[in-house]
Amino acid sequence: MTVRVRFAPSPTGMFHVGGARSALQNWIFAKQQGGVFVLRVEDTDAARNKPEWTEGILSALEWIGIARDTYEGPYFQSAYAGEHRAAAGRLYDAGRAYYCDCTREAVQARTGSQYQGYDGFCRDRGLPPGEGRALRFRTPDEGTTVVVDLIRGEPTFENKLIEDFVIARGDGSPVFLLANVVDDMTMGITHVIRAEEHLPNTPKQQLLWDALGVKPPVWAHVPVVVNEKRQKLSKRRDKVALEAYRDEGYLAAAMRNYLMLLGWAPSGDREIVPWSVIEEEFRLAEVNPSPAFFDEKKLRAFNGEYIRALPVDEFVAACRPWLTGTGTIAPPPWQPEEFDADAFAAVAPLAQTRIAVLSEIVPNVDFLFLADPLIDEAAWAKAMKEGAAELLDAAVAGYTALESWDAESLKSTLEAVGAERGLKLGKAQAPVRVAVTGRTVGLPLFESLEVLGRERTLARLRAARLRLV
């Protein structure tokens, strides 16, 4: 039997990092088993779906390494509406489902509670199909439904506690539970690997598989992803969009490595490992069922490690979207003609060790490409204290007299200027750094001045001096 797994997102907005983790787990499992990874877009809620969101799913999957030629699909759930209705008809004809005209208010009036489930009022009324009549599945009165789960063992559910649930609405359209089951049957899905939040639906879906005469798939419910307060990650509250991390400058390799650690770990005392190791060692049975904490600080640290491990030429290439404003990246504060690729290449090794996400490259190097630096007023107030004007005058004089414009000469000159005023280099360079770069922190100062050049450096020092008049 060929293993077939599926990832079935709904195109209702940005791509959730939890969904990305599920996609990776399904994809790796299929590869390990020599099976097939199926992408199915559950698009039946037309009011909430947009074509661009579907394209966003495909693009996000490709970004994290699931290329379009490595999976089957995408299929669209809306294309299988006929199969959904036919399955509902078979269940009704077999006596496994019945029509119900109860309103929610009527059920609440009979049960005296808005929290109690359906009371089975229409179970034996023998209502025929009709406008406004929902189709309910006839849940067995006795026995249990055992869900064999690769991660959670064998959760057992008493059938008498499962209400007769709706499988088709009053207009005849099937609900998610039935559509999902029929789609999996139609596509020959053998393993369903999905988030823990779907576990409460699983006994109902397994009952549907049984009633339709097909062996249920193997289930695996991976842990829910939570924030630092141990709350389930929410689009309304948390930063969860994979595209947002991509556009901020997280590397795909770092992101997918981190996502795979949400509930699982490779062998040994290590977390950052080659992707080939993850593909080889990942086992569903080893996934921890406890909630998995999505720690953005840890992800950021991961990303910094991956950035520092890049060959310099690859780092330069990775930074280009932020330096040129291409794709979905906002344009930088300089004009395209102001960007100097050679100047950036010269400082790239220095920047590579100092940033954790690629978007941070812009404030680190903007002083090289702008006609005038962007002055951080708080930094200016901190650096330009008493004696700063005289120090800038001396720095201009010393730098003007330099025969060789190189980092070592620039450093030794400013050291001498500071020593004459009883200042260590750290104190002496603060006014110079702010005058030239606009900030109190950044790339190594003297290497930066070397790349910026004599003329532009002296012009900025003089401009800062004039501002202090």
- Catalytic residue positions? 235
Residue 26, both tokens: 């399904």
The DSSP symbol for 63 reads H
- Tokens 């690997």 correspond to 193
Give CA separation, 61 vs 9, 34, 175, 404, in Å. Answer: 11, 20, 27, 52
H or E stretch at 366: helix 361-369
* CA–CA distance, 44 with 410 (Å, rounded to integer): 66
What residue type is assigned to position 291 of the chain?
Answer: P
Of 5, 9, 2, the C-alpha closest to 29 is: 5
* CA–CA distance, 419 with 352 (Å, rounded to integer): 32
- Tokens 């100062």 correspond to 445
- Give the phi and the psi of residue 445 in degrees, each rounded to 5: -60, -50
* CA–CA distance, 127 with 102 (Å, rounded to integer): 11
What residue type is assigned to position 337 of the chain?
Answer: E
**Strand, helix or coil at 64?**
coil
- 3-class DSSP string for 261-327: CCCCCCCCCCCCCCHHHHHHHCCHHHCCCCCEECCHHHHHHHHHHHHHHCCHHHHHHHHHHHHHCCC
**Strand, helix or coil at 168?**
strand
Burial class (CB in 10 A: 0-12, 13-18, 19+), 323: buried
Cα 121–127–130 angle (5° rounding)? 120
Cα dihedral: 420, 421, 427, 430 (round 10): -90
| Beta carbons of 161 and 207 less than 8 angstroms apart | no
β-strand 166-168 against 134-137: which pairing, if any?
antiparallel
Q: What is the DSSP string of 235-256?
A: TTTS--BHHHHHHHT--HHHHH
**Strand, helix or coil at 447?**
helix
* CA–CA distance, 145 with 246 (Å, rounded to integer): 42
Residues in a beta bridge with 40? 75
Q: What is the DSSP string of 382-433?
A: HHS-TTHHHHHHHHHHHHHT-SS-SHHHHHHHHHHHHHHTT--HHHHHHHHH
